[in-house]
Structures are given as structure tokens and as C-alpha cells.
A and B are shown apart, each in its own frame.
Chain A
């Protein structure tokens, strides 16, 4: 071989081996940074469990939670049945002119709309659900269903409807269908003209009914657009318009031009006698504006809202359509006639809007236009204060009827299409004999509900409270909505002409108002309080007005219906009652903790001042968005950044400033005390008291390394600990149910997979055969049931599925508030009302918890928008924050035993919730008595800056006690990318090679570790573990493979280089010798 050729070969070999070796080293580094995820990907556990069988002694029962099911098929079929029940009771009938519904079973229908062949089962992101066994609209209409024998094999029943086949094949199946993402949304229906051109259209006269099913999607990471036109640097992210937005004026929550054309085309066909009925199904969690429903030019005969329908909800809705089941849902949100008349939208960052301090650059901050997440520069003001949703529409209505000054022009019908709580039935009900008796701190309410129609049915009974709004309230800036939901009940099935007495116990606690500027705590202010029974919020106000002796006649028609004052009960409080200044959960004093949330009371406010909505001046305080010259104009509150804000934004994440040296002793590490976690579970099923001294002995067994690992590995799991035999836990999404298959441990699932599935432990033959957990309807549907028993069933099922599938934690449920329908995650949240959210979630979470699945209720709190969710600064009054937002979480923790929380990405004022000590320690721990883990949302987004600049320090938040666990899989001790640029090891004791002197941080790490370990102890992760069980860390197969490859290519690179060098030397020597 010639020298030149040989040299080229040598270079090529070196290059090849070196490049492969270099990329292998990089891959190894990245793989070890994400070790548990990689391990999960390859389907093995990084901890192997083995059991030491004692030579003597009896075998112990290690199943600590009892299932109501015997095998996986029963679990799956149970989920199917419960989801049907949820959807039956949560579907809301909005309109049914001339008894257009029910349809006759077997009747012939033509399908229209973008969801006819593209069912909206569930949202995206953490609201995503299993849809592998879902039943589409078409399949449901064709009579498909599941049976108990094999609940993943669809069965064919009788047709509910005969679908126009040619139209379905040539239009429904070919229409684009809706789609949405962070940067584009499409409604995707065809125009009437296009539909008329397809084969099958001409046959519509043979198909009596036109069913139009339309959907709007949504999901994590983006809000829905209200427009496609924005102006750079005024309030847009980057001034670009949303791509592919085909909504009317770019508004996703209106009928699109094509949908308008379809409905009007159908109306023309109906007028021509070719279509008998038009039925509209709103298959969406975020409802569109509905001012067209009563517009005669559209001709819609019946309309129902289904939310996202979960895996099987189409079957339930089909049964409702033909009258096999009866409607009994009440809307869990206000259905707006016109979105422009929803004032909250003025201060909401929908997909294209993004409010930023005009002067942020003065303080060295940058807008992250590419990532859509400027973690320091964006803000939102909850200017509406207490007047959110129906609390605005009904309060202003009451003031308008009563002729209060400065109420302004207010046409209720142009604002509200259907009020909060509204829902029709195939029958009618009458409420009477309203009685309220006070028994201690409980108001015992009873209402007689008579079925006055001719079909059996159920109905919600909603109880509202009207609180005084007088001089004291005005003087102390307390805002008081006209009526507020305080509790509810639901009747059983009532036969025609029968009467049932519905009894509801109303907790006096919710009479109290948060009085920020007066008492600085919750108080029942002196005055008259009314409890009101009603079918919806608007009826409640009319009942209240009737109680105040107003009538339509006496108000010149401003009052739109005669109320029923017999459904109002009055109670007087003569003096200030401070009973609820103390937490009912813990007995601790509740006091102002969030002055920094309200820009008007924040010390660093500078010249900023916000005028919140006030009942005393609707006209002057409410600013509505307008659409003009092709642009949506939002009269949002403009704020400027101050130096104090900038300092606090930076300082809170600066470990070098936050973490101070101290002289506190470090905890003991690595002690050999012979304790195992299972020892803390007693024979009777109770647990060692959290404050027991014995815990210290157990925790002393942890090593420093284990502690750091435990706190650094929290992405959908908690880590295993060999020193105390703590099993790892799988904690999975989400708010709409579990999202995994029934498999063997690990190997599948979102991030880590099931850890300890009961189905696997008992050797169920269906493990690994594709049976999956239930995808439930959007939570707004569950709330619309107004049925706590169904919520409990759903929660229990989610718990069962966790037990059988191997998850000990549920990253849910979603208890943020549907502040506006444009919120991307409406499907995960329950309602615009915190009481309804909390009272439905409480039985649900309690039931889930009862199966050893700990709920991480989320996103606690104030995560009402997605577009700017990372680090957005939210400004709000403490009263509104507590009563309209925190309350949902508070009820779920106090009444629903929710064990853990997941914090939000947002900020309260300038303080990231994950960094906020008042939020964690004052509210969650001291007031609510939260026992378990406070976990961040996906912490990498905040500490690692994947979407913009890092804004939360994972070490600072543990140090301050704001957070216990950062939900991320850091490498063992990853750098904090915030200002501190430190690792845990930089604070280690000298015995571990650290500098020492940070005992307080170590103690706080120990406390967080204890919370995590305590949560594991009380979860189903302990099932299968006895005092004889030990776990041992092993090296998993992929590690051997990677190391072998590294050694191989490293050696080859070395050999190739050696060959070249030797050859050069030999050649040179030969040359020299010549």
C-alpha cells in the first residue's frame, strides 16, 4: 500500500472511531443525566426488589388497600360504566324547542360539523387521556358499546341512528377536522358550498335530522386565540399573527365563517322542508359564544354541551339523544352570548396576547420572543377581583334591576346566553317548601323537588348565598357578589308527579368573607345573609330580587322574570363573627399573608395603581374589549416595572443571597439503626405519628447522597431509598384520569411507568395485553353533574386504576379556575366557581386517596393561563385570591384529604409560587394542614430555563420551605442555572467533602425528604412490602452496553492513532536512513 493511501486510511479510521467515540461519550453523559428516564425506556427498573423469607414465622398479608374488583377486566369495565354515568349526568341540555329531542331510536340522520368524524375525547398535555379503546360519535350512533366479558372488544348493538353514508364518506371523513397547537389553531370545517357539491348531499331529505357536532380543542402550553391580529410590543408576543387561524376575526370561540354557512344552509333546507330538525352538539370544554342560538336565521332546534367526552362519553350522549337517559346537568360555567362582553378577557393573555411591562429593558430583562415565555417581563392583572363569571353577570344584573347608580348600560341577554348552573331536562321540576335550620355551625337546608313533567328525571338543587354589602364592606374595600354558590345537592330519579325532599348541609364557614383591610382575616361581617335555593345563578338573583320585593313590573321590565321569594331564607348576624379567623382544619390563625399580591399594597409598587371592579361604579371600572378596524383591542391594565420588583425577581432565586451560613448542626447521615419504612406502618393499618421521635432515627439512616438524589429525582415519581427500604413511586397524570396500561412494573407509561401494579402482583393474566385505564370527561362535565356521589365514584375508580396499574400518585386533579373560556386547559379544570370546583373535587380526591393514590392537586395556585405561564406575574387582591382561587384547593385539602400539591409555573406578584414561603407555609401548611409533598410543576422549565430564562432555584425553594420536591429528573446533583449556579454538594457537610456550615439547609432537606417518605409510607407503593423486604441498587443492562461501547471505540481510536503515529515515525526514520 502506498504511503499516501495508507495515510488517508489511517486518518479516516481515526476520524471515524474518534467521532463515534466522542458522540458515545456525549450520549453517555446525557444518558446518566437522565438515567431513570433511560432506564424506563428500556423497560427495566433501576432498583430490584427482593424479599427475604424468614425461616420461621407466618407469611404476612402485604396488601394494604382493598380493591372492589377481582381482575383487570372488571376494573376496565367498571371505568366504562362510571364514565358513562358521569357523562349522562354532566351533559347539559341548553335548548330544546318544540321537543325536538328526544329523537326516535333508529331515525335517519345526516352528520355535519368538524367533530362528526373527529370526536373531541380529551385535551392535550397533562389533560390527555387514553383513547385506545374510545368510541367515536359514528360508532356510538351505530350502537357500539363494551360488555363485561372483554371490555376492550367493541360489541355491535342496534343502530341508534341510521347515518347518511355517502355524506359521511364524502364530507365528514374528508373534512380536515380541528387541530391546535402552540402556534396555530384550525377549526377545519367545510363551507356549505363545498358540502353541497359532494355525493350524498342530495340525499339529506331522506334523513330527517341534521346533527351538527362541532368541537374546539385545547391543551397544555397554549391558550386559545381571540384574534389573529396583534400589534408588536403593545401586547403581542412578537407581533406575528397566528398561522392558519380560520375563526371569525381569528376568534376561536365563535362559529367560523364555514360553520355559519353550514348552519344557515341547514336552516334554508329546513325552510324548504328537506330537513326536519337541526340538533347542535357542542363537543368542547371551552364553550363558544352562543348568541346565535336564539337567532332565527340559524334555526337550531336543540343544543347540548358535552364538554370533551372522555373515552366513552359518546355512548352516554347517544342515549340522552334518544331519551334512554334524561338530562340532569347544570352548566359549570357561564355560557357567554358574546365574548367581548366578558370583561375578564380584557386582562387575559390568550394565544396572541401577552402583557409586558413597558420598561422591563431598563432593568436588564429580555423578552424571549422565540420561546413565548418571558419569565421576567410578563404580567396579568386580575382586575375583575371578585367579579368573575356569574359573579359579574348576576351582580351587575341585580344592580341594574335595582337601579343602582353608575351601573351603566347593561343588557343581560347580550352578555349571557345561559347562566351558570343552567340545564334543561326532558321533564320539569318545581322547588317548594324551602326550609333552613341552623344547627351549630351548620345550616340544614331542605327543598321539596316535584317532577311536574311526564318523564322521570333528576335535577340539581343549587344553594346560593347573598352577603351584606354595606358601609363596613365599602369602607374596607370588600367586594360582595350578589349571589355565590355555597353548596348543592342532587335529587334521585323522581317519577312524574312525585316529590323528593333534597337535604343539603351548608357549612357556615362559607358565610365568612376575607376582610383584607379591616380585620385582616376571615370574618362574618354584621348584617343580613340570605340562603337561596335555585336552579341556576340567574334564578337565584331573581329569587333574591323577589325577596327584596322587586318585580318585572316594578322595575319597568329590567327584571326579566318573576322570582320566588319563598326560596329565600334570611339570617342576621348582629356583630362581627370571628370564628373563621381560625382555620377549621388546624385551628391556626388566618391572617393577611399576601400583601405582595396586590399591586396597590405591594411595597415596591412605585407609581402603579390598579382600579379593581367595584359594585359602586360598574360603568367606571369595567372595561370591555372591542373589535375595530380588524383588530381586537384589549383595555388591559398597564403597569411599569420598578427597581424593587426587579431586585426581588432576581434575589429570590439567587442561592448565594438566599442561603446563608449558619451554625446549626447537620443531621446524622448513614446511621445503622436497623429501621425500615414498613416498620412505621402498624398492624392495625395506622401509621407512626408524623411528629414521633422515631422518625429521626429512621431518617438518620439516609445518606447525604440518598437525600440529594431523592430531592433531585421527582419527574413523575419519587426515588427509591435502599437504606430504609423506601420503594420508588410512580406518580402520573392526570386531572382526567390515570393514563397508563395495565403492565408489568416499569417499561411503559409517560415517564417512568408503573412501579408496583397490583395486577402484576396477583398474576392477572391480562397484564400487558393492552387493557388501559379510563379516560374521563373534561372536569367541567363532572362539575356539571352537581353530583358529589358521581365525583366520589370517579375518584374511587381513578384510585383503583392507580392500585391495579401501579401508580401511587396522581398528578391531579386540576383545581385552577376557568377564568375565561380562552384558557387552554379548561378541560382539566372544573368551573369558573371555586366552591363548585372544590365541592366536586373533595369527594373525588378523598376517594382516590382511599386507594393509596396520593393526589398532587394542581396547579396550586393561580395557573389560569398557559400562553405566558412560565413566570407570569399575577396581580390580584387578597380577597379575590383566597375566595375565587385558593378556595378550590383549600376544600380539596381540608375536606378531600388531598395529600400533596403541585405548584404552578406562575408568580403571585413578583414571587414565583414555587419560591413563595407565605403560600407554602402560611396557606398550605398552617391554614389547610397539608400533610404531604409540595412539588413544583415541571421544574426544569423553571430551574433549567428550557423555555426562557431560569427563574426558580431548586435549592433555594427547598431551603426556604416553599417546595419539597422539584418535579424533574436532574442528574444526581445538577447545577442550579439561576443566579446561584450551585449544587447541593456545595453545601454538603465536611464529612461528605463539602464546606460545612449550612446546617439549616441540610435540616430543610431532611424535612422535605421526610414529607416525601411519609407520602410513600401512606400510599399503595408499600403494598407487597413487609418487614422482610429489602431493595438493592443494581447496575442495569444498558449501562454495561454503553460502557462496553465506550471502551471499544476508545480503544479503536487509540489504536488507529497509534498506527498513524508509529507509521509516521517509521516513514520518517526510513527517509532519514536513505
Chain B
């Protein structure tokens, strides 16, 4: 284990953090909309979890860069799926007849999904291994 971590650069720890964030995001999103399934995209939940687990597994087998790319793609796909399923709600709030403020469920889900995506995107550019790859 010590040897494994010794080869990892700080990007690896960011990957761990973003993967954890992705799982938390999936969980919060699920809990927010468990009672309102119309706005719950199961693919988004599974894509987030799958991206996080996949990134970690790829890191273990030293395919770190592929893992970060997978996590970034999955978090982007999850964000898009969320937008697809929630946009009607946003329209209703913007029209302002029945609702005129965004609720906590929407805000927390949105913030977490965006943070996960940004984190995973930035992570793609961070060094994952200590060994120099290219000269």
C-alpha cells in the first residue's frame, strides 16, 4: 500500500476526493427526489456512482488518466441527465405562477452536480503519478 501511494501524485488524492464527492452527490440527489421520482434520473445516479467506482478501480490498476477521464465524462453525463429531467421545474419557477423560488432540493442537487463536474474536469489536468510520463 505504501509503495502504491508513493507512486501517486497529488492528483490522485483529488481523484479520491472527487470520486467521493460524486458518490455523495448521487446520494443527495437520490434523497432529494426519492419522493418525486419525476425529477429523479436513475441513469444519472448510476452514472455518477459508476464513474466514481470506475475511476478508483482504474487508479488501482495504474490507469489513472483513463480514470480521471471516465470520472469527468460520467459527471458531465450526469449533469446533462439532471438538466434534461429538471428543466421543466426550472421553467415553472421562472414563469413564477405556481412557484417563484428554487427549493433546497434543487439547489443542493445542482450545486453538488456542478461541483462534481468542475472538480472532475480540473482533475483531468492534474498529475496523477509521480513518475514522469513524458519528456
- Which residues in window 44-93 of A have CB below 8 A to B? none
Pairwise interchain contact B121-A182, C-beta atoms closer than 8 A:
no
Assembled-state Cα–Cα distance A372/B101 (Å): 12
**Residue of A29, A370, A870, A977 touching B38 (CB-CB under 8 A):** A977
Q: Find the A residue at minimum CB distance from B76.
A: A22
Return B29 CB to nearest CB of chain A, in Å: 14
Pairwise interchain contact A947-B134, C-beta atoms closer than 8 A:
no
- Which residues in window 71-110 of B have CB below 8 A to A? 72, 76-77, 80, 83-84, 87-89, 91-92, 96-101, 103-105
Which chain A positions have C-beta within 8 A of B36?
366, 368, 371, 945, 948-949
Q: Find the B residue at minimum CB distance from A182.
A: B100
Return A1063 CB to nearest CB of chain B, in Å: 10
Which chain B positions have C-beta within 8 A of A2?
134
**Residue of A8, A30, A366, A947 touching B92 (CB-CB under 8 A):** A947
Which chain B positions have C-beta within 8 A of A870?
98
- The answer to the question of A1046 belonging to the interface, with a C-beta cut-off of 8 Å to chain B, is no
Return A33 CB to nearest CB of chain B, in Å: 9
- Which residues in window 934-988 of A have CB below 8 A to B? 940-941, 944-950, 977
Pairwise interchain contact A183-B88, C-beta atoms closer than 8 A:
no
Q: Find the A residue at minimum CB distance from B117.
A: A19
Q: Find the A residue at minimum CB distance from B105.
A: A370
Assembled-state Cα–Cα distance A2/B133 (Å): 12
A3 with B134, Cβ < 8 A, contacts A15-B124, A366-B35, A370-B104 known: yes
**Residue of B83, B91, B103 touching A370 (CB-CB under 8 A):** B103
Q: Find the B residue at minimum CB distance from A27.
A: B83
- The answer to the question of A125 belonging to the interface, with a C-beta cut-off of 8 Å to chain B, is yes
Return B63 CB to nearest CB of chain A, in Å: 13
Q: Find the A residue at minimum CB distance from B92.
A: A946
Which chain A positions have C-beta within 8 A of B39?
945
- The answer to the question of B125 belonging to the interface, with a C-beta cut-off of 8 Å to chain A, is yes
Pairwise interchain contact B97-A372, C-beta atoms closer than 8 A:
no
Assembled-state Cα–Cα distance A75/B100 (Å): 36
Assembled-state Cα–Cα distance A442/B83 (Å): 62
- Which residues in window 1-20 of A have CB below 8 A to B? 2-4, 7-8, 11-12, 15, 18-19
- The answer to the question of A593 belonging to the interface, with a C-beta cut-off of 8 Å to chain B, is no
Pairwise interchain contact A3-B135, C-beta atoms closer than 8 A:
yes
A26 with B80, Cβ < 8 A, contacts A15-B124, A950-B38, A977-B38 known: yes
Q: Pick the most buried of B39, B80, B98: most chain A CB atoms within 10 A of its CB.
A: B98
Pairwise interchain contact A220-B97, C-beta atoms closer than 8 A:
yes
Q: Pick the most buried of A371, A941, A977: most chain B CB atoms within 10 A of its CB.
A: A371
- The answer to the question of A1067 belonging to the interface, with a C-beta cut-off of 8 Å to chain B, is yes
Assembled-state Cα–Cα distance A23/B135 (Å): 35
Assembled-state Cα–Cα distance A944/B134 (Å): 53
Number of interface residues of A (CB under 8 A): 42
- The answer to the question of A813 belonging to the interface, with a C-beta cut-off of 8 Å to chain B, is no
Return B39 CB to nearest CB of chain A, in Å: 8
Which chain A positions have C-beta within 8 A of B76?
18-19, 22
Assembled-state Cα–Cα distance A8/B57 (Å): 24
Pairwise interchain contact B83-A371, C-beta atoms closer than 8 A:
no
- The answer to the question of A373 belonging to the interface, with a C-beta cut-off of 8 Å to chain B, is yes
Which chain B positions have C-beta within 8 A of A373?
98
- The answer to the question of A181 belonging to the interface, with a C-beta cut-off of 8 Å to chain B, is yes
Assembled-state Cα–Cα distance A2/B132 (Å): 13
- The answer to the question of A291 belonging to the interface, with a C-beta cut-off of 8 Å to chain B, is no
Which chain A positions have C-beta within 8 A of B99?
182, 221, 371-372, 947
Q: Find the B residue at minimum CB distance from A870.
A: B98
Q: Pick the most buried of A18, A30, A947: most chain B CB atoms within 10 A of its CB.
A: A947
Which chain B positions have C-beta within 8 A of A3?
134-135
Which chain A positions have C-beta within 8 A of B101?
183
Q: Find the A residue at minimum CB distance from B39.
A: A945
Which chain A positions have C-beta within 8 A of B100?
181-183
Q: Find the B residue at minimum CB distance from A905.
A: B98
Q: Find the A residue at minimum CB distance from B77.
A: A22
- The answer to the question of A124 belonging to the interface, with a C-beta cut-off of 8 Å to chain B, is yes
Assembled-state Cα–Cα distance A406/B125 (Å): 83
Assembled-state Cα–Cα distance A12/B69 (Å): 12
Pairwise interchain contact B134-A26, C-beta atoms closer than 8 A:
no
- Digitize A450-483: 1 where CB-to-B-CB distance is under 8 Å, 0 elsewhere: 0000000000000000000000000000000000
Assembled-state Cα–Cα distance A125/B135 (Å): 65
Pairwise interchain contact A4-B38, C-beta atoms closer than 8 A:
no
Assembled-state Cα–Cα distance A824/B135 (Å): 71
Which chain B positions have C-beta within 8 A of A946?
38, 88-89, 91-92, 98
Return B88 CB to nearest CB of chain A, in Å: 5
Which chain A positions have C-beta within 8 A of B77?
22
Pairwise interchain contact B38-A949, C-beta atoms closer than 8 A:
yes
Which chain A positions have C-beta within 8 A of B96?
181-182, 221
Which chain A positions have C-beta within 8 A of B89?
946
Pairwise interchain contact A125-B97, C-beta atoms closer than 8 A:
yes
Q: Find the B residue at minimum CB distance from A3.
A: B134
A4 with B134, Cβ < 8 A, contacts A11-B124, A26-B83 known: yes
Return A828 CB to nearest CB of chain B, in Å: 13
**Residue of A7, A23, A125 touching B134 (CB-CB under 8 A):** A7
- Digitize A161-198: 1 where CB-to-B-CB distance is under 8 Å, 0 elsewhere: 00000000000000000000111000000000000000
Assembled-state Cα–Cα distance A12/B89 (Å): 33
A124 with B97, Cβ < 8 A, contacts A11-B125, A22-B80 known: yes
Assembled-state Cα–Cα distance A26/B83 (Å): 8
Q: Find the B residue at minimum CB distance from A978.
A: B38
Pairwise interchain contact B88-A944, C-beta atoms closer than 8 A:
yes
Return A773 CB to nearest CB of chain B, in Å: 21
Which chain B positions have C-beta within 8 A of A181?
96, 100
Assembled-state Cα–Cα distance A216/B34 (Å): 39
Q: Find the A residue at minimum CB distance from B102.
A: A370
Assembled-state Cα–Cα distance A948/B35 (Å): 9
- Digitize B105-135: 1 where CB-to-A-CB distance is under 8 Å, 0 elsewhere: 1000000000000000100110000000111
Which chain B positions have C-beta within 8 A of A941?
98
Which chain A positions have C-beta within 8 A of B92?
946-947
Pairwise interchain contact A30-B38, C-beta atoms closer than 8 A:
no
Return A812 CB to nearest CB of chain B, in Å: 16
Assembled-state Cα–Cα distance A946/B39 (Å): 8
Q: Pick the most buried of A11, A30, A870: most chain B CB atoms within 10 A of its CB.
A: A11
Pairwise interchain contact A221-B97, C-beta atoms closer than 8 A:
yes
Assembled-state Cα–Cα distance A751/B124 (Å): 43
Which chain B positions have C-beta within 8 A of A25?
80
Pairwise interchain contact B84-A30, C-beta atoms closer than 8 A:
yes
Q: Find the A residue at minimum CB distance from B101.
A: A183
Which chain B positions have C-beta within 8 A of A371?
36, 98-99, 103
Assembled-state Cα–Cα distance A220/B99 (Å): 11
Return B98 CB to nearest CB of chain A, in Å: 4
Assembled-state Cα–Cα distance A2/B135 (Å): 8
Assembled-state Cα–Cα distance A1067/B96 (Å): 56
Which chain A positions have C-beta within 8 A of B134?
2-4, 7, 1067
- Digitize A187-223: 1 where CB-to-B-CB distance is under 8 Å, 0 elsewhere: 0000000000000000000000000000000011100
Which chain A positions have C-beta within 8 A of B88?
940, 944, 946
Assembled-state Cα–Cα distance A182/B100 (Å): 7
Pairwise interchain contact B97-A15, C-beta atoms closer than 8 A:
no
Assembled-state Cα–Cα distance A1067/B133 (Å): 11
Assembled-state Cα–Cα distance A870/B38 (Å): 16
Return A149 CB to nearest CB of chain B, in Å: 38
Q: Find the A residue at minimum CB distance from B37.
A: A949
Assembled-state Cα–Cα distance A29/B38 (Å): 18
> Could you list which residues of chain B lie within 8 angstroms of chain A, going by C-beta atoms?
35-36, 38-39, 72, 76-77, 80, 83-84, 87-89, 91-92, 96-101, 103-105, 121, 124-125, 133-135
Cross-chain pairs A/B with CB under 8 angstroms, 30 sampled = A3-B135, A4-B133, A11-B125, A12-B125, A15-B72, A19-B76, A22-B77, A22-B80, A26-B83, A29-B84, A30-B87, A124-B97, A182-B97, A182-B98, A219-B97, A221-B96, A221-B98, A370-B103, A371-B36, A371-B99, A372-B99, A373-B98, A870-B98, A940-B88, A944-B88, A946-B38, A947-B99, A948-B36, A949-B36, A950-B38
| A-B interface, 4 closest residue pairs, ranked by CB to CB distance from nearest | A370-B103, A945-B38, A3-B134, A221-B97
